[in-house]
A and B are shown apart, each in its own frame.
Chain A
């Protein structure tokens, strides 16, 4: 049973470009969570989605960031007009249900030049 998959593992963007991060949850998991880890800082929750619905986006920056989890395909975290401060590791986690343990992917390391 494959774990949570994220791609790309490394992503380099120039300021002003768009970044798209993808997350495929574990088989049988319909709940997805995105977290961000800035350099030398802890993990911060960003958004929680269940198929086609955003359940909680209290940790998402108000501008430039969006997330989706369509009926078919992976969850996408989209960052428009990236700035240097967006450079971080972005982790996705999935769970079977809203109160089950979350399993994390290997992360996507975004570098903004």
Chain B
């Protein structure tokens, strides 16, 4: 699975959109981009994933660049409860020959929502 690079920390004001970047320049054609977050020692929480097209669900939006070398997770109206470590993970599929195995978590981005 491709490696990802994220800034170690970010601040965002409550009520504003939080935009979390992720670089994955070695991503291959059939690898998905997944986002998880971990709120202070709780179990990681699945947020969203995508392949090429932008995706949106009730939690967030995922914008993937056309060359797929980077992506941005957008929390449209951040609240204090969104303070967490956010992980961007690239994962293979059966079509990329990727193993159906565990997720590789990096250090993530510690997002702090300021009141």
On A, residues with C-beta under 8 Å from B are: 4, 33, 35, 42-48, 55-56, 58-59, 89, 91, 93, 98-99, 101-107
Of listed A43, A46, A47, residue having the most chain B CB within 10 A: A43
Give the CA-CA distance A20 to B94 in the complex, in Å.
33
How far is it, in angstroms, between the C-alpha of A90 and the C-alpha of B46 when the chains are bound?
17
A45 touches B44 (CB 8 A): no
- Residue of B99, B100, B101, B107 near A42 (CB, 8 A) is B107
Asked if B100 and A99 sit within 8 Å, CB to CB, the answer is yes
Which of chain B's residues have a CB closer than 8 A to the CB of A107?
A: 41-43
* Shortest Cβ distance from A104 into B: residue: B43
The answer to whether A102 touches B101, judged by C-beta atoms less than 8 angstroms apart, is no
Q: Which residues of B contact A (CB under 8 A)?
A: 34, 38, 41-46, 49, 91, 93-94, 99-108
Cβ A103 vs Cβ B41 within 8 A: no
In chain A, what residue has the closest Cβ to B94? A99
Please, how many angstroms separate the alpha-carbon atoms of A91 and B102 in the complex? 12
Q: Are B102 and A35 in contact (CB-based, < 8 A)?
A: yes
| Between-chain CB contacts (< 8 Å), 18 pairs | A35-B102, A35-B103, A42-B106, A42-B108, A43-B103, A45-B101, A55-B100, A59-B102, A89-B41, A93-B103, A98-B100, A99-B91, A99-B93, A102-B103, A104-B43, A104-B44, A104-B46, A106-B43
Partner of A56, one of B38, B49, B99, B104: B99
Please determine whether B49 and A43 come into contact, CB atoms closer than 8 angstroms.
no
Looking at the complex, which one of B93, B101, B103 makes contact with A55 (CB distance below 8 Å)?
A: B101
Do B93 and A46 touch across chains, with their CB atoms under 8 A apart? no
Known A56-B99, A101-B34, A101-B49; contact A91-B44, beta-carbon cutoff 8 A: yes
Measured CB to CB, the nearest residue on chain A to B34 is A101
Please indicate the chain A residues that have their CB under 8 angstroms from the CB of B104 in the complex: 45
Q: Nearest residue in B to A45 (C-beta to C-beta)? A: B102
User: Are A58 and B101 touching (Cβ within 8 A)?
Assistant: yes
Closest-CB distance, B66 to chain A (whole angstroms): 24
